[in-house]
Amino acid sequence: MGCIALFLALFFPRVILVLIWLFGGGWLQDSFQTQLWPVLGFICMPLTTLAYAVGWHMGDGTIELPGTVLIVVAVLIDLGLLGGGTASSRRSGAARRA
């Protein structure tokens, strides 16, 4: 079950965030002080938002070393996905013009 959840979180983090918000029993509300951060995270960096909530609950209300590592990896994945999409669209646009 854990591997399936990890697979879904990596490929569909927005879906997992919505499911946690609907069925998580306050999981996101406990991790964040306001509703603004989860909404911005959903839009901009969904995997990082999910990793922060997991790291917060792993450390029982604090972010410890395993949670920090998880968050850093999630930030790198989020930034890599965003940057990779821009680079590939530039390449495909250049190929169409040539």
How many Å from the N-terminal Cα to the C-terminal Cα in the chain? 48
What is the DSSP track for 31-44? H-SSSHHHHHHHHH
- What digits encode the pLDDT tens for the residues 47-92? 999 999 989 988 888 888 988 999 999 999 888 865 565 566 566 6
Q: How many Cβ atoms sit within 10 Å of the Cβ of residue 89?
A: 10
Cα–Cα distance, 27 to 20 (Å, whole number): 7
Q: Which domain holds residue 41?
A: 2-97
pLDDT tens digits for range 37-57: 889 989 999 999 999 998 998
As for how many domains the chain has, the answer is 1
pTM of the model as a whole: 0.75
